Amino acid sequence: MKLRPYVILALARKDLARLIRNGPALMLLGLFVIVAILLASSGLVEETPQPQASQQGGQAALKETREAAWIVYPQDDDEAWINLLKRRAPKELGIRFVEREKITKEDIPPDLCVIQIRKPAYFKDRKQMRRLIQYRHPGSDPNVLWPVSRWFLSVSLEHFGKMPQFFETIESVKLPAQAGGSRAALENVSVADMLKISLIGTVLLTSIQFFAACGLLVSLAAQEREKGSLRALLLTPATYFEFVASKAVVHGGLAIGTSALVVLAINVSVLASLLFWMTIFLATMGYFALGLLITSFAKNQTAPNLLSFAYLLAIGTLNLLSMRFEAFQLLSALTFERYGLVFTYLSLNSGGVGLEASLGVMRLPGFLMMAILCLGLFLGAAVIGARRLRV
């Protein structure tokens, strides 16, 4: 396998020249950066509405008028997890932590959102041990739980390093007549109230990586193949792996560079995080390998675009179903996107974590699995492409 730098740079300059002439693609990438700049200047996190106080009377447990949710946990439960939840509890949500042994069921206010944590136990015919998480919400609309449950699950993901083994149930509590004011306050909390820069930034970065490293590669390479220029290029003294390396330099550099600009606008301290750079690099490698694999099988320009779009829909559906159904969890665990979204969000949400903290997260099984999947997919795509394209 020959990799001559001057050949790779020559091929990369050719691809870069074609890319510069592709106005719509550059406009879309620029739009991502503009959205990030507008997002950073919007004050989204600071302007999150704060829930109003509960009007429940006669409850000795209510000591602060800002309370809108309770986290009830066993006294001798996972101390590190509970402490992390306490440290990451946003003040605007008005969360109070209560030990289950110190209260009775009647002490829990009926007009507040409550997450009750129980110790791990066997469920579903004792086949798997899981932790019971019971969500309680006032009234008939479960959407009032969304701000608290989203925060609870994101912090739990950070602690466990993977999707926690929860057995989740949800219960609706009928509101008392005197709790009308509290109900009105909770109903004013919408899904938009919990949109945070780290969450939207994760969506932006994932979109950039997929478009630049996969979608754009598929479109341009398929165009070359349909016009016959790809076959002519592969018949030159340049080797197939030099051809792949030049594509990786252009499309990988475009994805990583645009991602860096987005993060520069959102939170510049994240650029000092090794976890962020390694996550972006691995995710870009995975999407590039996917684009290379699709290009190897598609023979015209329409088919690869449809394949990449169908893949994006299939992965999104698979990861969504895996959160609720065990049958899809194994398939989801074999996709690098599952881990990429989690670690991208963690790197943005934690800010500029130091080297030691980054290395600690990178030793987690989920991150190692992501690295193995991305590297394996890249090597597999390169080998398959070498057999199908090198004629």
Task: Please write the tens of the pLDDT for every residue from 2-21.
Answer: 678 888 888 888 888 888 88
**Do 215 and 184 share a domain, yes or no?**
no
Residue of 348, 354, 357 lying closest to 260 (CA atoms): 348
- Asked if 275 and 335 sit in the same domain, the reply is yes
Domain boundary among 192, 215, 243: 192
For 306-324, the pLDDT digits (tens) are 777 788 888 888 877 776 7
Residue 106 lies in a domain: yes
What is the value of pTM for the model shown? 0.63
Question: Between 336-349 and 302-322, two packed helices, what is the crossing angle to 10 degrees?
Answer: 70
Say if residue 109's pLDDT is above 70: yes
Instruction: Round to whole Å and give the CA distance between 270 and 339.
Output: 19
User: In Å, what is the CA distance from 353 to each residue of 90, 118, 267, 275?
Assistant: 19, 32, 12, 8
> Are 169 and 202 members of one domain?
no
- Do 109 and 228 reside in the same domain of the chain? no
**Whole-angstrom Cα distance, residue 219 to residue 211?**
10
Question: Above 90 in pLDDT, residue 288?
Answer: yes
User: Residue 235's pLDDT is what?
Assistant: 65
**Quick one: 125 and 266 in the same domain?**
no
Q: How far apart are the first and last CA of the chain?
A: 16
Judgement on whether residues 225 and 182 belong to the same structural domain of the protein: no
- Measuring CA to CA, how many Å separate 343 from each of 69, 119, 204, 309, 311? 27, 27, 14, 23, 21
8 A C-beta contact, residue 41 and residue 81: no
| Helical H segments across 102-215, by residue range | 146-160, 180-187, 197-209
Dump pLDDT digits (tens) for 191-232.
444 457 778 888 899 999 999 988 888 888 777 776 666 666
By residue range, what is the domain housing residue 292? Answer: 5-41+197-389
More reliable by pLDDT, 301 or 104? 104
Q: Do 241 and 324 lie in a common domain? A: yes
Higher pLDDT, 64 or 253: 253
48: in domain: no
Tell me the mean pLDDT in the region 46-75: 52
Q: Are 84 and 155 in contact (CB under 8 A)?
A: yes
* pLDDT range class, residue 249, cuts 50, 70, 90: very high
Q: How confident is the model at residue 289 (pLDDT cuts 50, 70, 90)?
A: very high
Last residue of a domain, one of 177, 192, 207: 192
Predicted local distance difference test score (pLDDT) of residue 29: 86
Q: Given 161, 192, 223, which residue is the final one in a domain?
A: 192
Count of structural domains, the chain: 2
Q: How confident is the model at residue 52 (pLDDT cuts 50, 70, 90)?
A: very low
Do 153 and 82 belong together in one domain? yes
> 141-167, pLDDT tens digit by residue?
777 887 888 788 888 888 887 777 787
pLDDT at 374 over 90: yes
What pLDDT does residue 127 have?
A: 63
